[in-house]
């Protein structure tokens, strides 16, 4: 244990480097994103399933839909309330949520999620504001 000084200095330097981002960003929490609903989505009141479920699990239902449509050839989804939807990302989801930049991308960017859906599926053209 003759290298006590060296080891402790090393540890301190290591901790400083590791903890630097926390120190640097202290008190600067990025506000959580607020998604904007289109008028059409507001008028519909409820999505395919409840808002809470959609917010947390929409990727699950998208996966279910993809499986059903592409591999099962089934195209109509009936929700627990008996309302029917054609299972399509571009034509059903994005029909209501036509503001991808203010709706989908807001949370995805915040959470650093990069879904590759839109490599193929066509997103609605940007609305003129």
Residues that bind other proteins (CB under 8 A): 49-50, 53, 57, 60-61, 64, 66, 68, 70-80, 86-87, 90-91, 116, 119-122, 124
Nearest CB to other proteins, comparing residues 2 and 78: 78
Q: How far apart are the first and last CA of the chain?
A: 69
3-state secondary structure of 78: strand
CB proximity list for 59: less than 8 A, separation 6 or greater: 115
DSSP run (H or E) holding 84: strand 84-86
Nearest CB to other proteins, comparing residues 57 and 102: 57
Nearest CB to other proteins, comparing residues 21 and 125: 125
For the CB of residue 70, give the shortest distance to other proteins in the complex, in Å: 5
Distances (CA, A) of 28 to 11, 18, 31, 34: 27, 18, 9, 18
For the CB of residue 126, give the shortest distance to other proteins in the complex, in Å: 13
For the CB of residue 63, give the shortest distance to other proteins in the complex, in Å: 10
């Amino acid at each position: 244990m003759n290298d006590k000084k060296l080891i402790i200095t090393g540890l301190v330097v290591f901790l400083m480097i590791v903890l630097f981002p926390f120190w640097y960003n202290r008190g600067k929490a990025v506000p959580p994103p607020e998604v904007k609903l289109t008028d059409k989505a507001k008028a519909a009141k409820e999505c395919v399933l409840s808002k809470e479920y959609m917010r947390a699990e929409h990727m699950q239902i998208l996966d279910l839909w993809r499986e059903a449509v592409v591999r099962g050839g089934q195209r109509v989804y009936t929700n627990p309330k008996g309302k029917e939807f054609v299972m399509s990302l571009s034509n059903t989801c994005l029909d209501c949520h036509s503001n991808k930049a203010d709706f989908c991308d807001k949370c995805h960017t915040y959470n650093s999620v990069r879904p590759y859906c839109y490599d193929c599926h066509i997103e609605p053209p940007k609305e003129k504001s």
